Amino acid sequence: MPQTPHVEQHFTAGETVRDIVIGMSDGLTVPFALAAGLSGAVSSTAIIVTAGLAEIAAGSIAMGLGGYLAARSDAEHYASERRREQLEVKEKTAAEEEEVREIFASYGLTDEQSKPIVEALSKRPDAWVDFMMRFELGLEEPDPRRALRSALTIALSYIAGGLIPLSPYLLVPVARTALLISVIVTLLALLIFGYVKGHFTGTMPIRSGLQTALIGGLAAAAAFIIARLIA
C-alpha cells in the first residue's frame, strides 16, 4: 500500500467527476454534430434519429469499454511494476540504493545528505518499494473497483449527453426546424456543462463554458458542411 497521505487532489471531486466529464463531453458533441451534419443532407428526421441513436449506442459502448480496459490495464501495470521493484530491492539492493541517491541528487542533495534516507529505507523493504513506486516511477496504486464504476459512469454520461441534442429530432418531424432547436438547446447545454466543468477542473468557468460550446459548434459546423457537400 502506498502510504502517501497528503496528496492534494487536483480534481476536487475525484475520478467520478473526471469520468462524467469524459463521457458527457463526447456525448454532447458527437451526436450533436452528426445530427446537424445529416440535417444538411436529408429532410426527414427519421433517419437522423436512427443514426443518432445508433451513434449513442456505439459511442457509449466504445467509450465505456475503453475506460474499463484502461482502468484494468492501469491496475495490472501497477502490479507488475511493483513486483519488479520488489525483486530489484531484494536482489539488486546496491543499484536501488544508487537510484535513491540519484533521485535526491537531482534536487541538489549530496550523497552525504541523502545517506540517512538510504539507510532508513533499506531497513524497511516495503516502505522502500512504496517509495520507488511513487518517487522513481510516479505511479499511484489504482482502486481495484474503479474499472467497472468508471465504465458505467462514462457510458451513462455519454448517453445522457447524447440524448440532449437528439431530443428535438425525436419531437419535431422537419429536420431543419429540429436542427435549429437542437443547436440552441445543445449550445446552451455545452455552455452550462463547460461552466460546471471549469469549476471542477480549475479553468475559469466562463472561459471553460465558451471553449466547450466552441468545440461543439465547430464540430457540428464541419459535419454539416461535409454532409452538404457530398449529399
- Specify the residue, 50 or 93, whose C-beta has the smaller distance to a copy of itself: 50
Write down the least CB distance from residue 70 to a copy of itself, Å: 5
- Specify the residue, 57 or 180, whose C-beta has the smaller distance to a copy of itself: 57
Write down the least CB distance from residue 179 to a copy of itself, Å: 13
Query: Which region, left, alpha or beta, applies to residue 214 given φ > 0 means left and ψ of -120 to 50 means alpha?
Result: alpha
Write down the least CB distance from residue 87 to a copy of itself, Å: 15
What string of DSSP letters covers 37-85? Answer: HHHTT-SBHHHHHHHHHHHHHHHHHHHHHHHHHHHHHHHHHHHHHHHHH
- Specify the residue, 44 or 174, whose C-beta has the smaller distance to a copy of itself: 44
Write down the least CB distance from residue 177 to a copy of itself, Å: 19
* Longest CA span, the chain: 78
Write down the least CB distance from residue 197 to a copy of itself, Å: 9
- Specify the residue, 3 or 94, whose C-beta has the smaller distance to a copy of itself: 3
Beta-bridge partners for 174: 44
Neighbouring C-beta atoms of residue 172, cutoff 10 Å: 16
Write down the least CB distance from residue 20 to a copy of itself, Å: 12
- Specify the residue, 7 or 91, whose C-beta has the smaller distance to a copy of itself: 7
- Specify the residue, 62 or 180, whose C-beta has the smaller distance to a copy of itself: 62
